[in-house]
Amino acid sequence: MESTLLARLREQNIEQRLGPLGKSSDRIVLSEWQRSGVRFAAAEGRLEEVYYLALRKLLDCIVPLGGETSILQEGGIYLGCWLESTGTINAELLSRFLPGVSEATYRSFARHQRADGLLPYKLTAQGPAYRQIQLVTPLGRSVWNHYALHGRDRDFLLAMYRAMERYDRWLADHRDTRGTGCVEAFSAFDTGHDLSPRFWHVPDAPHLGDASRFDPDSPILPFLAPDLTANVYCQRQYLARMAEELGFSGEEWRMKAAKSLDSLFRYCYDEEDRFFYDRDRHDRFVKVQSDVLLRVLACEVGDREFFDSMLQAYLLNTSKFFAKYPFTSIAMDDPRFDPHSGYNSWAGPSNFLSLIRAPHAFEHHGRYVELTWALQPILSSFARATRFAQTISPWTGEEGFTEAYSPSILCLLDYVERLSGILPTPDGELWFTGLIPYARDHGAEVAGETAYARTVGGVAFELLNLREGSAIYRGGEPYMTFPSGVRVVTDRNGELIGVVGMSARTVEGTLSWGGRELPFAARGNERLRYEDGQLRSEEGEEPIGVIYPTYK
């Protein structure tokens, strides 16, 4: 099987897999994809077929707007590029595959910034739109990760830094009418929470289409919004990092970030429920438990102990958000929960935007094993997919509303790479993950054994994941072998940095590399560092362990 699967990977002709290219820009984009060297093969199931269908549909989502350079669009019924998704988390994921398209997408938002500092919430063929703010993933984090991953272009960083600096001032001037230091929501669309019970009896858009105004006759607006406030907190942290990279002081940004964090916990955190809620104009909590929690955590709020408590109480709780196909947009024990996924709804179904935002929250705290429990069922769902929807049923994994939706497409590409592929990080690491998509749905095989390729710094790497173990090839030659159930971490040249336990069980075995035999035992989430010819735990005698699912 090893030679057969590896040979299939090496013989793949991506252009033939995709079929006729419809737009002149497709060939340019495909050329950039081919420079990444990314290819995927699976021995069984439909996942490989669906993977290349996703890539074909991704090309349809990359088009020029108004005669400009091609940028990423949302896809499906959404004709344009949205700041909350396409311009941030989508472009952040795409950066690992098509960095030129990602950078063009980021720059488009800065180029269309209004004179008063407001960034457009979307870009369409009709031009930029400024009706609302629509913030979720911090633009600063996405921009920094792109910058660190692709050569540290200071001109790009400075242009984006200046745009975000002006935007920060606009938000402070127009979205803190109550003087709390929180960022206020004036409408449902400000957070992209269409149909969510969080915003029942609140207009979908700000007053008279003006992002700086809320309905003066509303009995409950404005809301002090935890996800918007967390977004600005996190963005300010990254702006501090950018400022220092550019030779400025980052201290003022850190002070502003600390004030945002203080306001978030002072006004939006309920100590009794241990949950983040909006606070209405009467200082009452809007007690709807939604994916706001996951959004706040993805903004790097709280330490590991705090995150672990959220996993136990909510994210891995099967009566809250940990559905068979997680994560639901509303807690399942809320009487307003609606699992139906046949329309654009944040009132219950699992949304692919939540799914692509989730990994950062988990990985920021070293919760790699727990994240795989979300990756696996979603990949099982993809293996049955015929289109790329915005939502899926949390009960069955069936596709829901719309098709050819870029967050869904990028979720598949990202999850395959995180579970069974070769992932470059902004910190200069390469992750080679030795897991196989598991047959969870009716015992139907998802992929069987897999092979994955990626070119880094002109060097071709390949990862072969077999049931009995994994192997890395470098420049076409055998390079390293290791047991299944762990992630091997190297630098960009493939030099060993360490190993991470990726299974709830303790993985014992030997890593073979460069004529060395390195025996090890890695418990779940344990990080072993390669030093002095040995693999030793980074965490002393007691690793962080694994947080298990809960049921109430």
- pLDDT 10s digits, 491-543: 999 999 999 999 999 999 999 999 999 999 999 999 999 999 999 998 766 78
Instruction: Report the pLDDT value the prediction gives residue 2, as an integer from 0 to 100.
Output: 61
Q: Please, which pLDDT band fits residue 1 given cuts at 50, 70 and 90?
A: very low
Instruction: Report the pLDDT value the prediction gives residue 542, as an integer from 0 to 100.
Output: 77
pLDDT digits (tens, 9 = 90+) for 295-324: 999 999 999 999 999 999 999 999 999 999
What number is the average pLDDT over the span 371-385? 97
Phi and psi angles of residue 168, each rounded to the nearest 5 degrees, phi first: -60, -40
Helix axes 47-60, 24-36, angle to 10 degrees: 130
Cα 246 to Cα 540: distance, rounded to the nearest angstrom: 36
Cα 80 to Cα 61: distance, rounded to the nearest angstrom: 9
Q: pTM (2 decimals)? A: 0.97
pLDDT digits (tens, 9 = 90+) for 436-456: 999 878 888 899 999 999 999
On whether the CB atoms of residues 365 and 306 are closer than 8 A, the answer is no
Percent of the chain with pLDDT over 70: 99
Any residues with CB less than 8 A from the CB of 533 and at least 6 apart, and which? 516, 518
On whether the CB atoms of residues 119 and 212 are closer than 8 A, the answer is no
Cα 472 to Cα 519: distance, rounded to the nearest angstrom: 17
